[in-house]
Structure 1
Amino acid sequence: MAERRTGAIRVGIGGWTFEPWRGGTFYPQGLAQKRELEYASRQLTSIEVNGTYYGSQKPESFARWREETPEGFVFSLKGPRFATNRRVLAEAGPSIERFLSSGLLELKDKLGPINWQFLPTKRYEAEDFEAFLKLLPGRHEGRALRHVVEVRHESFRVPGFVELLRRHEVGVVLTDKADFPQIADLTAGFVYARLQGADSAEAEGYPGRALDAWAARARAWAGGAAPGDLPEGLQPLSAEEPAATARDAFLYFINGFKPKAPAAARGLIERLTAAE
């Protein structure tokens, strides 16, 4: 019997420029700011870029990020707000095309999923949301793309939304933030978690047992299983979509008490490494 493939697990933070991370908190005392990405990418295995949400980046910037980071490192990018913060999502095509043609392919093999984040006030409207998903290409200039949507209104917690994502092979962001709906269903060939519960009182941002739990979930996803301790799925997988499909897993410590995000990411990486 052929050995089953195991998905890759990437763990990181949002961005790398943050004043409270300097001076020994995360970055070594005296480290030049221009070397912060170089350092962070050798402590973590991925970074989610938030700047692409607010404005376009130059192709030279994407190429520089690629060159400053080690082999195997991956960037996830936020899609532009001009595509998602609109009343009629079906009209987002030009914004999506401008973003995809802005030079992000300069990242080459270091391009990870693209996260399309929606405002907490954006409600689920099936027809318009499907029109948006149809605008997300599976390939661009010959390179495969992976898309994930971050929805933050409770109206999305319905089986029809999960079915829609599966039809278009688009992921859904899993969050641990109490204010946002938690949707743990597997909808694509990867899993994307944005963890926002860091606590200033915890040395690693999260209690050890919480990091242990996220390590176990990440290993389950990568190995072809679904964690048994997340909320029950909205829509069971069909026989044609087996849960036992190895998936890449991306886990980012984003907010909560942001100064502790690097400590939480390193704590999770240490647990995953110890289990190898």
Structure 2
Amino acid sequence: MTKDAAGSIRVGIGGWTFAPWRGAFYPDKLPQKRELEYASHHLTSIEINGTYYGSQKPASFIKWRDETPDDFVFSLKAPRFATNRKVLAEAGSSIGRFFDSGVMELGDKLGPINWQFATSKAFDPADFEAFLELLPKQIDGRAIRHVVEVRHASFQAPAFVDLVRKHGVAVVIAGDSEFPLIADVTAPFVYVRAMGTMETEGAGYSNADLDRWAARAETWAAGGAPDDLELIGDPQKASGPRDVFLYVISGYKPANPAAAMALIDRVG
């Protein structure tokens, strides 16, 4: 993680429970109950996936908070019940239940909330704006950062970029994937899900690809925009430092921790 004239760059993986990581990322004979503790000392963030599939208990959030270093941050995938619906404007109760489930127990370790949409969900400007208006900007005096992961080609439109920028919501930059790539910066932070790790590379990505992602992260953190990613909307004026969250997700999952650690080495 770097924090000089630029924002913080946090790099991690999705979740921490995955059998092939045992004996590869995790040491042999490490108790499973200590896997989060171990991962959090080798990465700087983790995206929690379990919150997408169902509600967690406040005790779980407290446990995760207490098992990790003081400067560690979790991002959370928001519940599918809020996003997998025909009318997004009707998601208010699901959003409310999510934030009432104990999420705020993470305290300073609460990072962005990722609202992931189905690949079949097309861009409906009015209904999508109604959804954005349901997202709380703060809870109990704590600012809440939101990011949307849209995966239908209809979202690759200047009107969508303008809409999320108006609401200060980030868009997941879906790197090296089959999903639409929207690299426009629309919030005071950047959220990347790099999904191209390969079994043929020891660290998941080649050295050249790792260098490329590290350089992009540093550019975003310094307030700029990488010149090798095409934008859809109007370029945003240069801004001040931004926090960057970069998760190595999917692809060849067994190599994702190695790729994340290699990126951490590159960004400081």
Q: Normalising by the residue count of structure 1, what TM-score does the alignment of the two structures yield?
A: 0.94
Q: Percent identity?
A: 62
Equivalent residues of 2:13, 2:247 under 8 A apart: yes
Q: Which residue of 2 aligns with 1:236?
A: 234
Hey, what's the Cα distance between the residues in 2 that align with 1:98 and 1:178? Answer: 31
Q: Normalising by the residue count of structure 2, what TM-score does the alignment of the two structures yield?
A: 0.97
Tell me the secondary structure at the aligned position of residue 267 of structure 2: helix
Hey, what's the Cα distance between the residues in 2 that align with 1:80 and 1:136? Answer: 13
Equivalent residues of 2:177, 2:195 under 8 A apart: no
Equivalent residues of 2:71, 2:109 under 8 A apart: yes
Tell me the secondary structure at the aligned position of residue 83 of structure 1: helix
Hey, what's the Cα distance between the residues in 2 that align with 1:53 and 1:228? Answer: 33
Per the TM alignment, residue 123 of structure 1 is displaced from its structure 2 partner at its CA by 0.3
Hey, what's the Cα distance between the residues in 1 that align with 2:176 and 2:55? Answer: 28
Q: Which residue of 2 aligns with 1:86?
A: 85
**Over aligned residues, Cα RMSD in angstroms?**
1.0
Match of 2:244 among 220, 242, 249: 249
Per the TM alignment, residue 243 of structure 1 is displaced from its structure 2 partner at its CA by 2.3
Per the TM alignment, residue 5 of structure 1 is displaced from its structure 2 partner at its CA by 4.5
Unmatched segments (≥5 aa) in structure 1: none
Equivalent residues of 2:11, 2:245 under 8 A apart: yes
Tell me the secondary structure at the aligned position of residue 134 of structure 2: coil
Q: Which residue of 2 aligns with 1:17?
A: 17
Per the TM alignment, residue 225 of structure 1 is displaced from its structure 2 partner at its CA by 1.1
What per-residue deviation string (whole Å, max 9, x for no partner) do you get for residues 65-112 of structure 1? 111000110000000000000000000000000001111111000000
What per-residue deviation string (whole Å, max 9, x for no partner) do you get for residues 102-159 of structure 1? 1111100000000000000000000000000000011012211000000000000000
Tell me the secondary structure at the aligned position of residue 47 of structure 1: strand
Hey, what's the Cα distance between the residues in 2 that align with 1:178 and 1:6? Answer: 27
Per the TM alignment, residue 176 of structure 1 is displaced from its structure 2 partner at its CA by 1.7
Match of 2:262 among 260, 267, 273: 267
Does residue 1:6 correspond to 2:1, yes or no?
no
What per-residue deviation string (whole Å, max 9, x for no partner) do you get for residues 189-226 of structure 1? 00000011110010000011000011101111111111
Hey, what's the Cα distance between the residues in 2 that align with 1:22 and 1:67? Answer: 23
Per the TM alignment, residue 242 of structure 1 is displaced from its structure 2 partner at its CA by 2.5
Residue type of the alignment partner of 1:218:
A
Residue type of the alignment partner of 2:132:
L
Per the TM alignment, residue 177 of structure 1 is displaced from its structure 2 partner at its CA by 3.6
After TM superposition, the runs of 4+ consecutive aligned structure 1 residues lying more than 2 A away are 241-245
Q: Which residue of 2 aligns with 1:170?
A: 169
Distance 1:32 1:178, change over 3 A: closer
Unmatched segments (≥5 aa) in structure 2: none
Hey, what's the Cα distance between the residues in 2 that align with 1:5 and 1:60? Answer: 37
Per the TM alignment, residue 179 of structure 1 is displaced from its structure 2 partner at its CA by 1.6
Q: Which residue of 2 aligns with 1:110?
A: 109
Q: Map of 1:1-276 to 2, 5 A cutoff?
A: 5-23=5-23, 25-231=24-230, 233-237=231-235, 242-273=237-268
Residue type of the alignment partner of 1:235:
G
